[in-house]
Structure 1
Amino acid sequence: MKKFFFALLLLVSAVNTAISNVLHNREIFIGTNAEEKILSVATNLAVFLEMGTGKRWVIQKNVWNGIGIGLCERKNLNEFVAGIKENEKLSNSNLIGSIKGAFEILNKFGDEGVFLKGTSSSVCIIGNSALAIRHGTYVYLEKLGYRWFFPHPAWRVIPQVDNPFIFFEHAGEPSFCSRRIWYAYGTSSQKCDYDYRKWCEFNRLGGAFDINCGHAWGGIIRRNKDKFDAHPEFFALTQDGIRETNKTYEARKFCVSNEELVKLCIEDSVSLVQKILTDGKQIVEDSESGTNSVNNKKTIMISMESTDGIGYCYWENCKKIGGESEQVFYLAGKVASALQNQFPTVMVGTYAYAGHILPPSFGLPSNLYVQVATAFNKSNLTTKQLIVEWKKKVKNVGIREYYGVMAWDWDMPSQPRGARIDYVVKSLREFYDAGVNAINAESNVGWISRGLGHYIAAKLMWDISLNPNILKKDFINNAFGNSWGPMEELYEEWQKT
């Protein structure tokens, strides 16, 4: 009888242990010091895993013991390791060694650097920031077979996940520190906007380096309307000897040699920086409309980009500065230098675009950021040559790309740049090799014609070493199932048109 009860006790203990392990295997640990951002990331991961496994996942704001999924910022790594050591079964495993090694690996990366390690009973995701951890969760989901090809949820692939624990290891950071594909004319739909934001998130667009270099002079006028109304001499003098006061704000040029105008632009920029530092939110000039959006990332960049279109001031003192490039970058340089003295880490952003696509003849402050436009090139240089010339002037150079402009392509198959996969792949590789650190691509909502190009572009912006043919094959097979054959022919035909 004693043997029977002893055997029964062992059986109950084994069952309880098995149940405990199963529960742990469906837990996501975020540590005791985790920020709200990481809790949000864990919640999102739990939702996706529940869709794939059919089981509920629980988030624990507790020390991770090495079973289940652990999310951790690098700065909290000691707590991560201490929790694993408490689990005797793992104290001698290679998991601790891998995690300790992650500290050295991540030390070489920027804010978006992430390390992942998968075993038969665990997954750990360690990032240099909450954003990096979010990226890591999507890297993990992709390894399980999840996909999000186009923004609408119908283009998501949610696999049946029988076992979420697989052996793998990943360490890296994005190939470009800022990655953006955006709608020039919006969607006029909150649902479409939300779907697009989630698509960007899943495919790891965005970035820790927040770019702000859209057309900004119109915003300066609006914020200081009374002063501009009182001082028409702040506006450019035309060839006819008339000040530009009869145009819309978004078309007016400045008289950049006017010292009071320069002072006003500096004061306006200082005010924006102080507001950002107070509110913790960056005001980003919308590239086309001049409206503002808010970004919570830590990079502070103030745009000093001219209003759209060609033109400059013909007043005598302005002509002494030079043509359009000299005038635009004279003002941008003055503002950048003033901000650098007061806020050493703040940057000033501009385009190299249209009439001011060439670098000026004079030097520029180190905190000036420039995005070279791939269209509206009024110079005799190619985009590659312009990048070379600009890198002689400034440290940080990005690309202002055009994956689609409705007036150019009318959303027809193969017509938008963003639909031509050969162009997307070739250009991104050239930009990466040239040392470009950001891609800012204008496009439109037409996902049928250009969606595959956008998807491949997003993947290469994250990892330029990926094989576009494999990405395309994965898309065709997973998006269309048994219809993959004719759909592959259709996409091939579109590339030849």
Structure 2
Amino acid sequence: MFRLFLFALVAGSLHAEKIMLAEGGRALLPIVAQNETVKPAAEELAAMLERITGAKFEMQISTEPRGIFLGIGDKTPALEEREDYTMRSEKGGVVITGRTPQAVGHAVWDLLHRCGFRQFLPGKNWEIVPRTPTLGIDVNVSESPDYHARRIWAGFGYLKEREEACRQWNERNRATSGIELRSGHAYDGIMSRNKAEFEKHPEYLALVGGERRKPKFCISNPGLRKLVADDALAQFAKDGTLDSVSCDPSDGGGWCECIECAKIGSVSDRALLLANEAAEAVQKAYLGRLVGMYAYNEHSPPPSIEAHPGVVISVATGFIRGGFTIDQLLAGWNAKTRTLGIREYYSVNTWDRDLPGAARGGNIEYLRTTIPHFYASGARFMSAEASDNAGPNGLGCYLAARMLWDVNEAKNIDALTADFLDKSFGPARAPMAKFYTLLDGTKRQAASDDLVGRMWRLLDEARGLTTDTAIRSRLDDLALYTHYVGLYLDYSSAGGKERQTAFEQLFRFIWRIRHTGMIHVKALWRDLPNRDKSIQLPALAKYSDPDKTNPWKSDEPFTQDQIAAFVREGIEKRKLLDFEPVSYTTNLVPASGLKLPPVPRGNAGIYLRGVRDFWTWIDTPPATITLTGTAGIIYSSRGNARIELYPLAEAELKSVAHAEVEPDKQPHELKLETKFPGLHRIEISEGGQGTKIDWPDGMPMTVISSQETPAKLFGRWHLYFYVPKGTKIIGGFAEGEGFLLDPAGKTAHTFPAKPGYFSVPVPAGQDGRLWSFKHSGGNRQLMTVPPCLARDEKELLLPEEVVQKESGTGL
């Protein structure tokens, strides 16, 4: 659908020459704006060149190309041409021609980038302004972005005090959109705008369980389809600046069950049919305007019908139904659609909590691989949900912005990273290169005292290598981020009163550093208290409570002395291990592919307490998971134990089955039904009364026991874990007595009652096999091997990457 527009001034047709802009702090050329529409860009250029050279650049308005000339082409651009510009140095000056004022703005920041300016992360501290009294430029380029939309935006939104810094970052890194593609959930809005019609025609709503219900439509109804098309036309009529409207379904299920809708085909076919008819009406009245829709959740599988040329499908990289891979979705939708987009998840605070390497936005290899790959697969729009968390993800988002403009920048990631380190840290570059390796999710390391301790030691080394105030301000930002990681680690691993105390310390701290943008304070404040029911906010301390009366919100910044104290205390408190933790995904699959030899069946203890998760696997749905539950073993007055079943393939991460167990100390059969294949999480929440869960022998059932999610089994238990090939040390944390047994069943280590870290060498030939914890009383957290515990080899689930690698199937 889209084509690359070339200006009349083809970049390679003329030879550029170096033009001097300033000499010895004196401007040599005026800055000339063709008209008022490009004057703001010209003023920004003048101000920034003055900061770089110290020279005052004269501003003029003229249609005559002279000096540093900023102009606009004389033809109205097509949607996909809006951001195109040329920039050429030639005798007498520099000529910048953009198709729109937005394109001229892009050219200005491109020019400044070539002059050494950088806005690596949002905020003044991360602004790099070189001091060059004598400045020249030799340039001859014609630029057009590879992705027409390059949105990197914050879920939960921005704090008001962060909005301008983040807006500037997007503008200065050309991370904006030439085409505003609307693809968000739209059915609710359509119903709201047409309330009277839906009240008059209840048959427009989906038939579910014999009743007409919101929020889905009966798409087989021609009246409904005409209403949706008319609504799209009305939106364009109301706002002539719109590039697109969304026709994406409302979130969740509830699709129509009537016979006529079934005749249309799959959910994807129905949703696309509705979008197609809206696009057909739009094209007749507003040629070139678009209709957007996600490939997401129940309508993620590719359709059997063709998409209208005016429909853009944005494929979501999460919440995929039908067992498809992202590549299969891209191929399937690309076969039916002219233009694709990507709905990405660079950071979701609920998932990653701003921790090092926990989000895609901090995984440099993921970004380097996927952005050009998606482009090659037909994607031309990117909408990436992220967070205002420049601490862990700032470098990744900067690199993403460069690649979204030009996917060939993926070949230059190492050079771009070196440029970031050189310009941001100067003489402190070496330790900071190691620091950013710790933040990179490409080889993510588990959050631990060891990780935080190494971060502190590298910052301390860097601080000793420079007295430059600008560099020190960046190191201070990262010191405050590192202190946050330590506080979050303390909070997340604490219990009881200690957890409440740690939570208060965490929240008081994060508000005081909100201006740095190192962590997404708004998301944490809004989301964390709602999910952790073990902590409480005091009166007037909610996010919505005014700052002046909020007892946990202080505007007092941290002083240099306080930050230096954080560094010293961090080094003292966070001890280093003699092994490096290894992080594994929780994308678990059966270990059967490893063909492990049989072992004597172990046991999972006598009961569990609180909220605990077990993981199981369904090969062929629909299926019924049969368990036996016994509750009230310790207390019988805390209500029923509750069991929920969460399929990982369920787009909204909702429970699909629920069961309860009376606290009567008697075994009860539980049946949990699912229609989903693959990995399932079974959550037991029982108020600390003591509950035992049993399952049939050989049924896949694994518990995770890592630093982030310790299993906390009660009684004496015996469970197996897998030691991947090449592992040299089994390392982790233990509290409570017990034994570590090698594959032959011999004692390799005896655990004392005192809590502490352990490190056990793996003899030659003992890797690639099952080891076990036996007669264990207390907690074991595995840090160098997959933290997956099971009663035997048949019940063991392991990270998919381990099984694929060691079974020879590849990644």
Q: How does 1:450-465 map to 2 (within 5 A)?
A: 450-465=393-408
- For the pair 1:29 / 2:28, whether they are aligned, the reply is no
CA distance in 2, matches of 1:173, 1:65: 22
Letter in 1 for 2:58: V
CA distance in 2, matches of 1:233, 1:262: 12
CA distance in 2, matches of 1:263, 1:375: 31
- Partner residue, 2:258: 315
Deviation for aligned residue 1:121: 6.1
| Aligned equivalent of 2:430, options 485, 488, 491 | 485
- For the pair 1:400 / 2:325, whether they are aligned, the reply is no
| Aligned equivalent of 1:241, options 183, 186, 210 | 210
CA distance in 2, matches of 1:443, 1:310: 26
Deviation for aligned residue 1:57: 2.1
Letter in 2 for 1:381: F
Note closer, same or farther for the CA distance 1:353–1:40 as it changes in structure 2 (3 Å cut).
Answer: same
| Aligned equivalent of 1:128, options 59, 78, 99 | 99
CA distance in 2, matches of 1:134, 1:474: 23
| Aligned equivalent of 1:410, options 353, 359, 381 | 353
Provide Cα deviations, 1:189-209, integer angstroms capped at 9, x if missing partner.
1x3112111111100012322
- For the pair 1:215 / 2:158, whether they are aligned, the reply is no
CA contact under 8 A between 2:106 and 2:174: conserved in structure 1?
Answer: yes
Letter in 2 for 1:243: R
Deviation for aligned residue 1:59: 1.6
Deviation for aligned residue 1:332: 1.1
- SS, match of residue 181 in structure 1: strand
User: How high is the sequence identity, in percent, across the aligned residues?
Assistant: 33
- SS, match of residue 317 in structure 2: strand
Deviation for aligned residue 1:260: 2.3
- SS, match of residue 269 in structure 1: helix
Deviation for aligned residue 1:382: 2.0
Deviation for aligned residue 1:63: 4.3
Which structure has more relative contact order (CA 8 Å, sep 6+)? It is 1
Provide Cα deviations, 1:207-266, integer angstroms capped at 9, x if missing partner.
32221111111111221223323433322122x223324xxxxxx111212222222212
Deviation for aligned residue 1:23: 8.0
Structure 1, unaligned runs of 5 or more: 1-18, 77-105, 246-251, 283-299
| Aligned equivalent of 2:420, options 475, 480, 489 | 475
Which region of structure 1 is more displaced relative to structure 2, 352-361 or 369-378? 352-361
| Aligned equivalent of 1:259, options 222, 230, 236 | 222
CA distance in 1, matches of 2:226, 2:138: 59
CA contact under 8 A between 1:253 and 1:313: conserved in structure 2?
Answer: yes
CA contact under 8 A between 1:179 and 1:207: conserved in structure 2?
Answer: yes
- For the pair 1:420 / 2:420, whether they are aligned, the reply is no
Note closer, same or farther for the CA distance 1:120–1:53 as it changes in structure 2 (3 Å cut).
Answer: farther
CA distance in 1, matches of 2:266, 2:385: 27
- SS, match of residue 437 in structure 1: strand
Which region of structure 1 is more displaced relative to structure 2, 111-120 or 53-62? 111-120
CA contact under 8 A between 2:356 and 2:438: conserved in structure 1?
Answer: no
- For the pair 1:273 / 2:236, whether they are aligned, the reply is yes
- Partner residue, 2:54: 54
Letter in 2 for 1:70: F
CA distance in 2, matches of 1:40, 1:489: 40
Q: Which has the larger radius of gyration?
A: 2
- Partner residue, 1:114: 85
CA distance in 1, matches of 2:52, 2:64: 23
CA contact under 8 A between 2:27 and 2:56: conserved in structure 1?
Answer: no
CA contact under 8 A between 1:51 and 1:158: conserved in structure 2?
Answer: yes
Deviation for aligned residue 1:64: 4.1
CA distance in 2, matches of 1:343, 1:121: 43
Q: Which has the higher helix share?
A: 1
Deviation for aligned residue 1:156: 0.6
CA distance in 2, matches of 1:70, 1:43: 12
CA contact under 8 A between 2:26 and 2:133: conserved in structure 1?
Answer: no
CA contact under 8 A between 1:312 and 1:327: conserved in structure 2?
Answer: no
Deviation for aligned residue 1:26: 4.4
- For the pair 1:175 / 2:146, whether they are aligned, the reply is yes
Q: How does 1:325-474 map to 2 (within 5 A)?
A: 325-466=268-409, 467-474=412-419
- Partner residue, 1:9: none
CA contact under 8 A between 2:27 and 2:55: conserved in structure 1?
Answer: no
| Aligned equivalent of 1:137, options 108, 115, 123 | 108
CA distance in 1, matches of 2:26, 2:354: 50
Structure 2, unaligned runs of 5 or more: 1-21, 446-811
Deviation for aligned residue 1:151: 1.3
* RMSD across aligned positions (CA): 2.4
Provide Cα deviations, 1:4-46, integer angstroms capped at 9, x if missing partner.
xxxxxxxxxxxxxxx9xx9872411123xx2x32111111111
Note closer, same or farther for the CA distance 1:315–1:445 as it changes in structure 2 (3 Å cut).
Answer: same
CA contact under 8 A between 1:28 and 1:60: conserved in structure 2?
Answer: yes
CA distance in 1, matches of 2:231, 2:138: 54
Provide Cα deviations, 1:344-369, integer angstroms capped at 9, x if missing partner.
32221101111111232223321111
- Partner residue, 2:165: 195
CA distance in 1, matches of 2:429, 2:38: 38
CA distance in 2, matches of 1:342, 1:171: 33
CA distance in 1, matches of 2:131, 2:318: 45
CA distance in 2, matches of 1:112, 1:228: 41
CA contact under 8 A between 1:120 and 1:165: conserved in structure 2?
Answer: no
Letter in 1 for 2:114: K
- Partner residue, 1:72: 71
CA contact under 8 A between 1:119 and 1:165: conserved in structure 2?
Answer: no
Which region of structure 1 is more displaced relative to structure 2, 224-233 or 152-161? 224-233
Letter in 2 for 1:477: D
- Partner residue, 1:79: none
- For the pair 1:152 / 2:155, whether they are aligned, the reply is no
- Partner residue, 1:248: none
CA distance in 1, matches of 2:421, 2:44: 27
CA contact under 8 A between 1:346 and 1:367: conserved in structure 2?
Answer: yes
Provide Cα deviations, 1:53-91, integer angstroms capped at 9, x if missing partner.
22322221124464x311122329xxxxxxxxxxxxxxx
CA contact under 8 A between 2:421 and 2:429: conserved in structure 1?
Answer: yes
Provide Cα deviations, 1:294-322, integer angstroms capped at 9, x if missing partner.
xxxxxx21110011123411122212222
CA contact under 8 A between 2:33 and 2:61: conserved in structure 1?
Answer: yes
Note closer, same or farther for the CA distance 1:154–1:120 as it changes in structure 2 (3 Å cut).
Answer: farther
CA contact under 8 A between 2:52 and 2:132: conserved in structure 1?
Answer: yes
CA distance in 2, matches of 1:412, 1:49: 37
- For the pair 1:231 / 2:201, whether they are aligned, the reply is yes
Letter in 1 for 2:322: S
- SS, match of residue 74 in structure 2: helix
CA contact under 8 A between 1:117 and 1:168: conserved in structure 2?
Answer: yes
CA distance in 1, matches of 2:233, 2:421: 50
Q: TM-score with structure 2 length normalisation?
A: 0.49
Letter in 2 for 1:384: D
Which region of structure 1 is more displaced relative to structure 2, 115-124 or 457-466? 115-124
- Partner residue, 2:174: 204
Note closer, same or farther for the CA distance 1:228–1:166 as it changes in structure 2 (3 Å cut).
Answer: same
CA contact under 8 A between 1:417 and 1:424: conserved in structure 2?
Answer: yes
